[in-house]
């Protein structure tokens, strides 16, 4: 505990713990950086701040697992945790090499293969986190996911196989933006870059949750597109499924608007709409049992399940808006 003291005409001072100062090799007249974070301040040695910005974090991954998918997951994990260089060491067979290349070049923004041999692959992150702010990344993720969801509803209404195939190709684009957003959020949480705009430290958890929910919604839009490929001609049941899909796209848009405006009451209406959707889903499936072939029925069931999951994830987004805006609904205690 330290007491605030007043000195001179306008300065408030607090002494630093001696052990902390000595452990960091600081002395009189050395500079420290004071960073405001809402109700808190963080004090850092100035040279430590310089080092954190300039030093390169290197992750070394052993390829001894021999499982390309496992290695791909580890590469993605090191990327989103803020490592600047990722080195894979050990025997590099063609399956590992091709998987790592695909992950690095197609799914991780700003990553390039800078060295490659039969015993090592070096991946370098060249993208500067200051070039794309978190707000821009989140906005891009939301807009792309909304566009994909709208397009898949259109493809479902006409059983447009060509459009469905184009939508499936957007999967990597959604992942790229999502992985970058999570990397940037982790950067901020570790203090490696300043918090953006009006974001408070506690908000980082909420933005992390939002990013994951939107990415999951994108995944289900892609799943709908994949199942459209299993359908035949346009039928009334499939037309109705596309109408339900469009209805859910509206729920998603309402949830996103609630989050961006920090509207805490929108979740109540959205929760009711989700229940209406579930009733429409059950009714449609009961009727489809009598008219669709087994193959089409399975595809429709999977499509409706993905549509329902989109609605449920959208409700979760609206609940995040409630978390952010709950203070506006509270009353002062007497």
Quick check: is 207 in a domain?
A: yes
How far is Cα 172 from Cα 170, in angstroms, rounded to an integer? Answer: 6
Between helix 294-325 and helix 203-228 the angle, nearest 10°, is 170
In terms of domains, do 164 and 148 share one? yes
In terms of domains, do 96 and 202 share one? no
Return mean pLDDT, the chain: 89
More confident residue, 130 or 102: 102
**What pLDDT shows up at residue 165?**
96
Q: Where is average pLDDT lowest: 44-53, 144-153, 185-194? A: 44-53
Per residue in 262-274, pLDDT (tens digit) is 999 999 999 999 9
pLDDT mean over 293-320: 95
How far is Cα 334 from Cα 332, in angstroms, rounded to an integer? Answer: 6
In terms of domains, do 325 and 197 share one? yes
Quick check: is 210 in a domain?
A: yes
Per residue in 239-257, pLDDT (tens digit) is 999 999 999 999 999 999 9
In terms of domains, do 107 and 217 share one? no
pLDDT mean over 74-86: 93
**What pLDDT shows up at residue 187?**
85
Q: Do residues 191 and 45 make contact, with C-beta atoms less than 8 angstroms apart? A: no
How far is Cα 280 from Cα 106, in angstroms, rounded to an integer? Answer: 38
**What pLDDT shows up at residue 240?**
94
In terms of domains, do 97 and 217 share one? no
Band of residue 86 on the pLDDT scale cut at 50, 70, 90: very high
Instruction: State how many domains the chain has.
Output: 3
Quick check: is 334 in a domain?
A: no
In terms of domains, do 115 and 248 share one? no
**What pLDDT shows up at residue 144?**
97
Asked whether residue 49 carries a pLDDT value surpassing 60, the answer given is no
Which residue range forms the structural domain that includes residue 30?
5-53
Is the four-CA dihedral 324, 330, 332, 334 of positive or negative sign? negative
Identify the domain boundary among 69, 100, 125.
Answer: 125
In terms of domains, do 187 and 287 share one? yes
Interacting residues of 28 by C-beta distance below 8 A, sequence separation 6+ = none
Band of residue 156 on the pLDDT scale cut at 50, 70, 90: very high
pLDDT mean over 174-178: 95
Helices (H), the chain: 18-23, 46-54, 68-80, 94-102, 134-158, 161-168, 171-189, 203-228, 236-261, 266-288, 294-325
Q: Which residue has the tokens 């430290």?
A: 201
In terms of domains, do 187 and 153 share one? yes
How far is Cα 268 from Cα 293, in angstroms, rounded to an integer? Answer: 38
What is the domain-level CATH number for residue 251? 1.20.58.220
What is the domain-level CATH number for residue 81? 3.30.110.20
In terms of domains, do 180 and 89 share one? no
pLDDT mean over 1-26: 89
**What pLDDT shows up at residue 108?**
93
Interacting residues of 168 by C-beta distance below 8 A, sequence separation 6+ = 222, 225, 226
Please, is 147 exposed, middle or buried when counting C-beta atoms within 10 Å of its C-beta (0-12, 13-18, 19+)?
middle
Helix (H) or strand (E) holding 114: strand 111-116
Quick check: is 246 in a domain?
A: yes
Phi, psi of 220 (to 5 degrees): -70, -30
Q: What token pair was written down for 126?
A: 């060249």
> ∠166-172-175 over CA atoms, to 5°?
135
**What pLDDT shows up at residue 196?**
65
Q: What is the DSSP letter of 327?
A: G
How far is Cα 199 from Cα 179, in angstroms, rounded to an integer? Answer: 19
């Amino acid at each position: 505990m330290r007491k605030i003291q007043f000195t001179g005409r306008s300065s408030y001072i607090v002494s630093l713990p001696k052990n902390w100062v000595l452990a960091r090799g600081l002395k009189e007249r050395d500079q420290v950086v004071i960073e405001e974070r809402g109700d808190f301040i963080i004090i850092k040695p100035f040279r430590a701040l310089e080092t954190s910005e300039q030093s390169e974090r290197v992750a070394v991954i052993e390829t001894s697992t021999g499982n390309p998918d496992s290695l791909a997951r580890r590469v993605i994990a090191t990327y989103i945790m803020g490592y600047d260089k990722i080195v894979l060491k050990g025997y590099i067979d063609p399956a590992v090499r091709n998987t790592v290349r695909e992950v690095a070049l197609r799914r991780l923004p700003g990553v390039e293969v800078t060295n490659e041999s039969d015993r090592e692959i070096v991946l370098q992150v060249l993208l500067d986190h200051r070039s794309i702010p978190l707000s821009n990344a989140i906005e891009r993720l939301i807009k792309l996911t909304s566009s994909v969801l709208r397009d898949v509803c259109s493809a479902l209404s006409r059983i447009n196989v060509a459009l469905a195939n184009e939508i499936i190709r957007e999967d990597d684009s959604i992942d790229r933006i999502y992985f970058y957003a999570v990397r940037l959020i982790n950067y901020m949480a570790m203090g490696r870059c300043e918090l953006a705009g009006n974001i408070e430290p506690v908000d980082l958890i909420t933005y992390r949750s939002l990013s994951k929910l939107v990415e999951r919604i994108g995944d289900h839009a892609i799943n709908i597109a994949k199942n459209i490929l299993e359908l035949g001609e346009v039928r009334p049941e499939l037309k109705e499924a596309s109408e339900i899909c469009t209805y859910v796209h509206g729920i998603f848009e309402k949830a996103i608007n609630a989050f961006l405006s920090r509207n805490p009451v929108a979740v109540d209406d959205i929760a009711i709409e989700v229940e209406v959707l579930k009733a429409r889903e059950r009714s449609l499936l009961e009727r489809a049992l009598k008219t669709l072939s087994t193959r089409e029925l399975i595809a429709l069931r999977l499509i409706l399940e993905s549509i329902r999951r989109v609605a449920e994830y959208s409700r979760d987004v609206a609940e995040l808006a409630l978390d952010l805006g709950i203070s506006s609904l509270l009353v002062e205690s007497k």
